[in-house]
Structure 1
Amino acid sequence: MLLKLILFSGFAGITVFIGGILANYFNHHVNENYVKYEIIHTLMSFGSGIMLSALALVLIPKGMEQLELLPIVISFLLGALLFMIIDQYLANKGGKTATLLAMLMDFIPESIALGAVFAIEPEMAVLLAVFIGLQNLPEAFNSFRDLIQSGFTVNKTLLMFFFLSFFGIIGALIGHYLLSDSPDLTAHLMIFASGGILYLLIQNIIPESKLEKNYLTSLGAILGFLVGIIGDKII
C-alpha cells in the first residue's frame, strides 16, 4: 500500500521536472515563431482543462459528499481569498516567480489530499494523481520559461524543479499519516484547494492561455477536460 502511494505521488511530482526538461529543449531547439507560441498557449490551455476536470470530477464532488453546505461555502471562499491575497502580494513584488508559486499553491494541498484519499478510496486517489501529474506538466513548462527570463540559469532551475518534484511524495505521506482518519478535514482541504485553484484559473491561467486571433488553442482546454472525463470513466 505504502509503495503504491509513493509511486503514484511520485508520478504526480516528477512531471514538474519533466516539464522543466521539455521547456529547456523547447527553448533551445525550436525557433521563435508563431507556431512556437501556439504550442505554448495550447499547453497552458490544456493544463487549465485538466485543472477544471480535477475540480469538477474529484475535489469538489468528494468534498460535497462529506460536508454540509455552510462548511463547503466557508472552505471554498477561504481558499479563493487566500490565493487572491498571495496573488496580489506576488503581483506587487513583480518578477516572474508567480507562475512557479501558483503551481506549488495547488500542487501541495492536492498532494496532501491525495495521501489522505489513498487510504479510503485507492482508485479515486489514482485518478487524482493522474490529474495532478498532468496539470503540473504544462505549469512547470511555463514556470521554467518565466524563471529563465528572470535571470535564473538552466542548471539552477532544473535542480530546483528536481527537488520540487519530491513535494508530491512528501505531501502525500503527510496526508496519508495525518489525515486518513479525518475525512472531514480532508474534505475541507479539497474544497479549500478548489476555491484557490479556480481563482488562479480565472485570474491568471485562462487569460494568459488565450492567443489573439487564434481559436484552436482553446481546444487544448477541451482536450484537457476530456482526459479527465476518460480517466474518471475508466476508474
Structure 2
Amino acid sequence: MFFEIILFSILAGSTVFIGGLTSYYFENRVDNKELKELTVHYLISFATGIMLSAISFVLVPEGIVELPILLSCFLFILGGVSFFFFDKLIKKNKYKIPQVIAMLLDFIPESIALGAVFVYSHKTGILLSIFIALQNLPESFNSYIELKRLKHSSSKALLILFVLSFVGLAFSLLGYAFLDDKIEITSSLMLFSAGGIMYIIFQDIAPLLQYKKRRMIALGVNLGFIIGMLGEAIL
C-alpha cells in the first residue's frame, strides 16, 4: 500500500513537469502564434472537463458517504468561500503568478486526500491520481508560459515545475501518515477541495475559454469530462 501511494503520487505529480516540457517544445518549435493560442485554450478547456469530472465522480460522491448532508454542503460552500479569498490574495501577490498558485491550490488538498483515501478505497485512490495527473498537465503548460512572461529563463521555469512535481508526493505521504484511519477528515477535505475547484472553474478558468468566437473550444470540456466517465466505468 505504501509503495502504491508513492507510485501513484509520482504519476500524478509528474505531469506538472511534463506539461512544462510540452510548453517549452511549443515555445521553441511552433512558430504559428494562433496555433499556440488555440492549443492553450483547448488545453484549458480539457482541464476544465477533467476538474468537473473529478468533482462529479470522486470528490463529492466519496466525500458525502461518511458525512451528514448538511455538513457536506457546508464544507463544499466553505471551500468555495476560502478559494475566493485565496483568489483575492493571488491577484495581489507581488510575484504575479496566479496560474502557478492556482495549480498548487488544487494540487495540495487533492494530494493529501489521495494519500488518505488509498487506505479505504483502492479504486478511488487510482481514479483520483489519474484525475490529478490529467488536471496538472494543462495547468502546468500554462504555468510555464506565465513564468516565461515574468522573464524567467526556460531552464529556471522548468526547474520550478520539476520541484513542484514532487509537492504532491510529499503531501500524499502526509495524508497517508496522519489521515489513514480518519475517514471523516479525509471526506471533509475532499468536499472542501471540490467546492474550491468549482469556484476556480467558473471564476478564473471558464472566462478564458473565449477566443475569437471559436465556439468549438468549449467542446474540450466535454472531452475532459468523458475521461472521467471512462475512468469511472473502467475502475
TM range (shorter): over 0.9
Structure 1 match to 2:55:
55
Give the equivalent residue in structure 1 for 2:187.
187
User: Which residue of 2 is the match for residue 9 of structure 1?
Assistant: 9
The residue correspondences of 1:141-220 to structure 2 (distance < 5 A) are: 141-220=141-220
Distance 1:93 1:125 in 2: 33
Which residue identity lines up with residue 197 of structure 1 in the other structure? I
Equivalent residue number for residue 123 of structure 1: 123
Q: Could you say if the C-alpha distance between residues 69 and 164 of structure 1 is closer, same or farther in structure 2, counting changes exceeding 3 Å? A: same
CA distance in structure 2 between the partners assigned to 1:179 and 1:95 by the alignment? 33
Check conservation: 1:48, 1:206, Cα contact below 8 A.
yes
Who is 1:34 aligned against?
Answer: 34
Query: Which residue identity does 1:129 align to in structure 2?
Result: S
Q: Matched residue pairs, number?
A: 235
8 A Cα contact 1:96 1:147, kept in partner: no
1:193-233, Cα deviation, whole Å (9 max, x unpaired)? 01110111001111112213101111111100000000000
Secondary structure (helix, strand or coil) at the match of 2:221 reads helix
Separation in 1, partners of 2:183, 2:144: 36
The residue number in structure 2 matching 1:91 is 91
Deviations 1:95-146 (A, max 9, x none): 5400100000010000010111101111110010000000000000001101
User: Cα distance, 1:177 vs. partner?
Assistant: 1.3
Q: Secondary structure at the match of 2:180?
A: coil
Distance in 2, matches of 1:174 and 1:198, equals 25
Contact 2:13 2:167 in 1 (8 A): yes
Aligned counterpart, 1:111: 111
Deviates more, 1:182-191 or 1:34-43: 34-43
- Distance, in Å, in 1 between the alignment partners of 2:217 and 2:95 is 26
- Counterpart of 2:216 in 1: which secondary structure? coil
RMSD over equivalenced CA pairs, Å: 1.1
Which letter does structure 1 place at the counterpart of 2:199? Answer: Y
Distance 1:209 1:153 in 2: 27
Counterpart Cα distance in 2 of 1:157 and 1:190: 30
Please list the CA deviations of residues 26-85 of structure 1 after superposition, one character each: whole Å capped at 9, or x if unmatched.
111111432221111000100010000000000000011111122112211221111111
In the alignment, what sits opposite 1:140?
A: 140
TM-score by length of 2: 0.97
Residue identity in the other structure for 2:190: M
Which structure 1 residue ranges, 5 or more long, are not aligned?
A: none
Contact 2:90 2:96 in 1 (8 A): no
The percent of aligned pairs where both chains have the same amino acid is: 43
Alpha-carbon distance in structure 1 between the residues aligned to 2:82 and 2:107: 15
